[in-house]
């Protein structure tokens, strides 16, 4: 069952939280996931970078959860104002 939605930026903090909770160092997780340590560092510390796939792998490796997404919503467009 889905519990809550996260923005892409929030996933950085979630990935760091679960990695720290396991007690593993960034280098350990990097080796396990066959990623570079700098990628783990950037995925956790720089939410403005688009590293969603790396964050997903960290979260899934360090927690009992899987990350399901991305989620896109359709919203009806507002009518354009008449221009004279």
Write the pLDDT tens digit of every residue in 25-66.
999 999 999 999 999 999 999 999 999 999 999 999 999 998
Q: What is the pLDDT of residue 22?
A: 96
Q: What is the pLDDT of residue 61?
A: 96
Look at the chain and report how many structural domains it folds into.
Answer: 1
- Using a 10 angstrom Cβ sphere, with 0-12 exposed, 13-18 middle and 19 or more buried, the burial of residue 43 is buried
| 33: containing domain | 1-84
- Between residues 69 and 66, which one has the greater pLDDT? 66
CATH number at residue 62: 1.10.260.40
* Whole-prediction pTM: 0.82
CB atoms within 10 A of CB 40: 27
């Amino acid at each position: 069952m889905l519990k809550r939605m996260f923005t892409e930026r929030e996933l950085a903090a979630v990935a760091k939280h679960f990695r720290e909770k396991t007690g593993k160092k960034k280098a350990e997780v990097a080796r396990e996931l066959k990623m570079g340590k700098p990628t783990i560092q950037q995925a956790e510390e720089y939410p403005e970078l688009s590293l969603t796939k790396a964050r997903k792998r960290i979260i899934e490796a360090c927690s009992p959860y899987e990350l399901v997404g991305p989620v896109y919503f359709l919203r009806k467009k507002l009518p354009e104002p008449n221009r004279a």
